[in-house]
Amino acid sequence: MTVHLLRMAVRVESIAHLREIQSERVKAENNGGEGALFTYTRNIPRRSDELADGGSIYWVVKRLIRVRQPILGLHQQTNAEGRDYCAIELDPTHIQVEPQRQRAFQGWRYFRVEDAPPDLDTAQSDSSDLPPEMAAELRELGLI
């Protein structure tokens, strides 16, 4: 059974800013070249098999779940001090989702498939002139 991860994008201002940060990280980790994209976590998810079975990381940007990235793999690694950590390999594609409010939390949370917001149609997301916060509030009220 597939599960997703919900993760805060700390100090990230927008989806474009997230793309920029991740692009710079890939360049830095691969000596300026192209390579795999990873996000790191101190704890190794106990449900890693379920995450690797079609799971995604849903990023919370400015208190809204805004975008997801499919998980390509999870790799247990050890740092210089001998502590284990997890490198989560991500698809670099950012898939925008219907914005959904999310309270702050630390670390990451498992996110059930049935709780995940639906993907936005790219044509729909490009044509919307509403700020994401306003669109989320209008959706909650059933007005759009």
Instruction: Indicate the domain borders of the chain.
Output: 3-140
Q: Which of 76, 80, 95 is nearest to 38 (CA)?
A: 76
Can you give the chain as a three-state secondary structure string?
CCEEEEEECCCCCCHHHHHHHHHHHHHHHCCCCCCCEEEEECCCCCCHHHHHCCCEEEEEECCEEEEEEEEEEEEEEECCCCCEEEEEEECCCCEEEEEEECCCCCCEEEEEHHHCCCECCHHHHHHCCCCHHHHHHHHHCCCC
Place of tokens 């916060």: 133
Instruction: State yes or no: pLDDT of 123 exceeds 50.
Output: no
- Give the pLDDT band (50/70/90) at residue 53: very high
Residue 52 phi/psi, 5-degree rounding, is -70, -15
Each residue of 56-115: pLDDT tens digit? 999 999 999 999 999 999 999 999 999 999 999 999 999 999 999 999 999 899 999 999
CA distances from 30 to 19, 33, 53, 55 (A): 17, 5, 27, 25
Give the global pTM: 0.82
Write down the pLDDT at residue 126.
44
